[in-house]
Amino acid sequence: MSTQLENETQELLGKVVQDFTGAIATRMCAIGIDLGLFVDLAEYGASTSQEIAERKSYQERYVREWVYGTHKVGYLNFDKETRKASLSKAAINVLVSKGEKFSQQGAFKLINNMMLPYDELLSSFKEGGGVNFEDYRSGLWEGLDLTGCTRYRSFLVTDWTDKIPEITKKLEKGVAFADFGCGTGRSSIELAKKYPNSKYFGFDVFPPNIEKARKNSIERGVSDICHFQVWDAKSGAPGKFDIVAAFDLIHDLPHPGEGIQAIKNAMKEDGLFLLMDIKCTEDPIDNEGPMTAFKFGASLHFCMTTSLANNGEGMGTVGLPKSKVEELCAAAGFKNVKEIEINHPLNSLFVIQ
Binding mask 99-138 for ligand SAM (x = CB under 6 A): ----------------------------------------
Does residue number 205 form part of the binding site for ligand SAM (CB under 6 A)?
A: yes
Does residue number 277 form part of the binding site for ligand SAM (CB under 6 A)?
A: no
Instruction: Give the dihedral sign, CA 85/88/89/90.
Output: negative
Binding mask 312-351 for ligand SAM (x = CB under 6 A): ----------------------------------------
Nearer to ligand SAM, 91 or 245 (CB): 245
Contact 181, 158 (CB under 8 A): no
Nearer to ligand SAM, 63 or 111 (CB): 111
Nearer to ligand SAM, 163 or 234 (CB): 234
For 281, residues 6+ apart whose C-beta sits below 8 A from its C-beta are 287, 318, 321
Does residue number 252 form part of the binding site for ligand SAM (CB under 6 A)?
A: yes
Total residues contacting ligand SAM (rule CB under 6 A)?
A: 19
Nearer to ligand SAM, 40 or 145 (CB): 145
CA distance 73 to 24: 8
Closest alpha carbon to 136 in 173, 157, 109, 175: 109
146, 205, 210, 224 from 184: Cα distances, Å: 9, 11, 6, 16
Q: How many CB atoms lie within 10 A of CB 305?
A: 25
Does residue number 226 form part of the binding site for ligand SAM (CB under 6 A)?
A: no
CA distance 285 to 288: 8
- Positions 145 through 184 that interact with ligand SAM (CB under 6 A): 148, 181-183
The least distance separating ligand SAM from the CB of residue 251, rounded to whole angstroms, comes to 8
Nearer to ligand SAM, 85 or 346 (CB): 346
The least distance separating ligand SAM from the CB of residue 329, rounded to whole angstroms, comes to 18
DSSP state of 223: T
- The residue count of the chain comes to 353
Does residue number 233 form part of the binding site for ligand SAM (CB under 6 A)?
A: yes
- What's the chain's Rg over C-alpha atoms? 22
Tell me the three state secondary structure of residue 202: strand
Contact residues toward ligand SAM (CB under 6 A) are: 144, 148, 181-183, 186-187, 204-206, 209, 231-233, 247-249, 252-253
